[in-house]
Chain A
């Protein structure tokens, strides 16, 4: 695996907001098929890394490569069309649309007909819509959400909204899936269900996944490799069990041992 070029590679990426350096010269590689966890204390710059990859907040310096393309500097929709999908820390479903339409909106790239053909309902409209409809329904059925298809996304329970957002990202048939705190706000049983879902994405759908998560049971139980950020820089990277014992990581989360007196 190490011989092949990585699917995603950040090369000395820096993101600055005015005087604040949110991500500082970070290099990160994700191989195809890997499930990588990105962890770190609050404000470490994890979501900024996601925003830099997806083009929401372009990198100030450095290069992001994905699947043979330089994607830093591209607008978000083009990066998405190359095969990078994501979920958001604060769920961003299309709340006023049904669950089915949320997924169908994500299957936008599967269409090959233009607006004129849509207006006159040509044959290609017919066949594409039928195919999209079927694919969306199948995706929902596959994850036992078929009965939610016609419900408004905004009216779903929180855990279901998180799952639908993941399915919506999956509907774009991504090569790389970025999950931003998928287990946030979930209770332990919901988290367990989510872990099963994420495992299925990797094992059955062969999706490469980079995820941010604070729930350590989740991260340690599922990730192949973990990278730890603090103040926008990588402080450790390796197997989950090694990371859990890493001195720098423990310090980043709990403070230095000498600092105990102040606690």
Chain B
């Protein structure tokens, strides 16, 4: 962040986020290409798509938790809103409306354009929810904010669970599969570039100032309430986008997919990533691949339960012991706040 336009030159400034995004794309593409050549199996494409969604979710959550210092553990709730909104649109009208255009050879283009529009809708609806959750963040700090966001995530889940229009507990079925790897890569690139650009602007530094010291930030003319809300809204927007991609890949969503554990998984990615964008990308891919690898471990050792949660806990403790500064950065809880004493 501190490296500057003048010193690095305009190309480096544009190129670095692009290269990072492309590297992430290459890793994703590599995973799918390497493992099952010459024809990539559906299994690996699915992992790549989910890894991409998780990268979007982790990078956007990092804006809230890592950069703005507002500890949110309800990110899966925004994802659910994006997923359900767009899935319902597709199931109700989109599928029929698109039917004349989905035949070859232009079918993929039509569905891709449709999905891009849908991603924006899903993002906007989630962003509105982000605004509603961002407002309590103006009054709540640290642990209390965490509990409020946790409550929000659970409320969203329970609402979908009890809405027959979206299938209730049985979920929403027969969502058209419009998501493809390229759309995911595009969405990942846009997310990373937008958030990285934002962070190297006056607005990004204002968001960091809010994290560092609200009283000092206010004394310098920074409207903390505005930037906290903005972080929530932008973070929620991209979570909504990820939810749209997710729903239109798996074709089937249930409220349980967006529960508390999903939010915790995303927080884990942010913490493992040390509060940076690059870290969040790497951690998101790693945490996505982990259960896949663990499946084999489970078979080898004849485990009856999923060892995932034990590994997550061990990872968190490991990070806390080895990189003490990374965790407070990502999980900054500001209990004290308040005025200058004297």
Which A residues have a C-beta under 8 Å from some C-beta of B? Answer: 46-48, 50-51, 54-57, 75-78, 80-81, 85-86, 88-90, 92-98, 100-101, 104-111, 113-115, 118-121, 125-126, 128-130, 132-134, 150, 168-169, 172, 180
Name B190-218 residues within 8 Å CB distance of A. 193-194, 197-198, 200-206, 208-209, 211-213, 215-218
Q: Which of A56, A92, A105, A125 contacts B208 (CB 8 A)?
A: A105
B224 is an interface residue with CB less than 8 A from chain A: yes
Given contacts A47-B340, A48-B342, A92-B340, A118 and B202 within 8 Å (CB-CB)? yes
Q: For B5, what are the chain A residues with a Cβ–Cβ distance below 8 Å?
A: 126, 129-130, 133
With A46-B342, A47-B341, A133-B5 as known contacts, state yes or no: A104 contacts B220, CB within 8 Å.
no
B169 interface residue (CB < 8 Å to A)? no
Q: Which residues of B contact A94 (CB under 8 A)?
A: 208-209, 212-213, 216-217
Contacts of A46 in B (CB 8 A): 342
- Which chain A residue has the least Cβ–Cβ distance from B216? A92
* Minimum distance in angstroms from A210 CB to a CB of chain B: 14
| Contact-residue size bin, chain B (C-beta under 8 Å from the other chain) | 35 or more
* Residues 1-16 (chain B) with a chain A CB within 8 angstroms: 1-2, 4-6, 10, 13-14
The 30 sampled A-B contact pairs (Cβ below 8 Å) are: A47-B340, A47-B341, A50-B340, A51-B340, A54-B219, A77-B217, A77-B218, A77-B222, A80-B221, A86-B219, A89-B342, A93-B213, A93-B216, A96-B208, A96-B212, A97-B2, A97-B208, A98-B2, A105-B208, A105-B222, A108-B220, A109-B221, A115-B230, A115-B234, A118-B202, A119-B197, A125-B197, A126-B10, A132-B202, A133-B5
A133 to B217, CA, bound (A): 19
Residues of B contacting A107 in the complex (Cβ-Cβ under 8 angstroms): 202
Instruction: State in angstroms the CA–CA spacing of A100 and B2 once bound together.
Output: 7
- Residues from chain A with Cβ under 8 Å of B194 in the complex: 119
Q: Is the CB of B208 within 8 A of A101?
A: yes
What is the predominant secondary structure among interface residues of chain A facing chain B? helix
Residue ID in chain A nearest B339 by CB atoms: A56
| Whole-angstrom distance between the Cβ of A99 and the nearest chain B Cβ | 9
User: Of B193, B217, B230, B341, which is within 8 A of A90 by CB?
Assistant: B341
B216 engages A115 (CB within 8 Å): no
**From B201, B217, B342, residue with most partner A Cβ within 10 Å:** B342
Asked if A96 and B220 sit within 8 Å, CB to CB, the answer is no
A106 touches B220 (CB 8 A): yes
The one of B13, B203, B220, B339 that contacts A51, using a Cβ cutoff of 8 Å? B339
CB pair A56–B340 under 8 Å, yes or no, is: yes
Q: Mark B210-251, 1 if CB is under 8 A from A, else 0.
A: 011101111111111000001000100000000000000000
A47-B342 in contact (CB<8A) = yes
Contact A101 B216 (CB under 8 A): no
Q: Which of B10, B198, B220 interacts with A105 by CB under 8 Å?
A: B220
The answer, among B6, B197, B206, B224, for a CB contact under 8 Å with A121, is B197
* 3 tightest Cβ-Cβ pairs between the two chains A and B: A47-B342, A118-B201, A94-B212
Contact A51 B342 (CB under 8 A): yes
Which partner residue on chain B sits nearest A75 by CB separation? B218
4 more contacts with CB within 8 A, not counting A50-B342, A92-B213, are A97-B208, A101-B208, A115-B198, A118-B204
Q: Are A129's CB and B201's CB within 8 A?
A: yes
Minimum CB–CB distance from A69 to chain B (whole Å) comes to 14
- Does B329 sit at the interface, judged by CB under 8 A? yes
Q: A77-B221, A80-B221, A81-B221 are in contact. Are A101 and B340 (CB under 8 A)?
A: no
CB-nearest residue of chain A relative to B325? A96
A133 touches which of B4, B215, B220, B234 (Cβ 8 Å): B4
